Amino acid sequence: MTYATFYTCREGVLSIIQKPMDSISPDHLNCCYFNSVDIYQRFFLSKIIFLGCASAATLHHQTKKKFNKENHKKKMKKNKIIYWVSTGIIAAMMLFSAFGYLTSPDMDAAFKHLGFPAYFRIELAVLKIIGVIVLLLPMLPEKAKVIAYFGFAITFVSAMIAHLSSGDPLGVAIVPIVLLLILGISYYFNEQLKTRS
């Protein structure tokens, strides 16, 4: 049987319409362009169009997947930089203060000014060193890191209260709050790296 093949395109979609020659009206013949093709030719042509569409869809999917993967890598890199910078600031400040607690006579006088006993200065220095080690070593359990974050947060809040209660200038009392904010940034991006890894 001989068929007439019509090609139409609407909204970017190519359609192939097959009709038997006997069913086509003269009006249709006058207004439309058609070719007589064999049923095997019709199947072959449809197959070419299908494979072309499938290849385009596959290429689009692969490009989108590659783009998303590259974006994920960039975001992970940015998160790691922010995490390590904020964590490095906290670690440096804590080690510096711990060293001062153990070696500086001025720190001994400062603790007495705040009303703390001498042994508390030594304990706080040791705990700060341990906390820094826990934050910097990636092989340690996450629960240990959470405890270290919580311990530093309590330390900063307590330091602010102690300075305000002792009548120290507002600028001195603000320093622990700034460190608390940096600690919060470190904690947030640590959580982001855990969820995306």
Residues 6+ apart with CB under 8 A from 197: 76
Residues 6+ apart with CB under 8 A from 166: 113, 114, 115
Does the model's pTM come out above 0.75? Answer: no
For position 29, what pLDDT does the model report? 46
- Cβ atoms within 10 Å of 40's Cβ, excluding its own: 8
Least confident among 18-22, 57-61, 128-132: 18-22
Q: What angle do CA 153, 193, 134 make, to 5 degrees?
A: 45
| Residue 185 pLDDT > 70 | yes
Average pLDDT over the chain, rounded to an integer: 79
Across 68-74, average pLDDT? 75
- Cβ atoms within 10 Å of 186's Cβ, excluding its own: 24
Residues 6+ apart with CB under 8 A from 151: 127, 131
| Residue 155 pLDDT > 80 | yes
Q: At 171, is the pLDDT very low, low, confident or very high (cuts 50, 70, 90)?
A: confident
> Tokens 């640590």 sit at which residue?
190
Q: At 30, is the pLDDT very low, low, confident or very high (cuts 50, 70, 90)?
A: very low
Distances (CA, A) of 21 to 18, 27, 29, 86: 9, 13, 10, 78
The neighbouring-strand residues paired with 18 are 5
- Residue of 161 and 23 predicted with greater confidence: 161
Mutual orientation of helices 39-103 and 170-196 as an angle, nearest 10°?
Answer: 150
